[in-house]
Amino acid sequence: MTTSTCKKSYKKPCTPDGTELKRVLPDALKTNCAKCSEKQKVGARTVIHHLYKNKSNWWKELEAKYDPENTYYKEHEAELKAL
């Protein structure tokens, strides 16, 4: 199963990394990744950068699912615009 299929359906089987991301993402957003290791933070920044710059349609889908009120976007807007 490809990551894009996993991402689009939110229900189909994911890679182990995709499954873990879905599991921890809500808490990571709420706590500003307080429980994340430095390696996870670097990985998250890499993925966010790629999606924000190169996959805007996927980014918008993720925003709609995980940040419908733009709460987290507003907190990190300057960082995103600096990418």
The backbone torsions φ and ψ at residue 39, rounded to the nearest 5 degrees and listed phi first, read -60, -40
Total domains in the chain come to 1
Taking the C-alpha atoms of residue 30 and residue 66, their distance in angstroms, rounded to an integer, is 10
Separation CA 83–CA 68 (nearest Å): 22
Residue 1 has pLDDT above 50, yes or no: no
The reply to whether the predicted model has a pTM over 0.85 is no
Residues 74 and 66: their CA atoms lie apart, in Å, by: 13
Q: Which residue range forms the structural domain that includes residue 49? A: 3-81
Taking only the tens place, the pLDDT of each residue in 25-61 is 889 889 999 999 999 888 888 888 898 899 999 899 9
CATH assignment of the domain containing 77: 1.10.2080.10
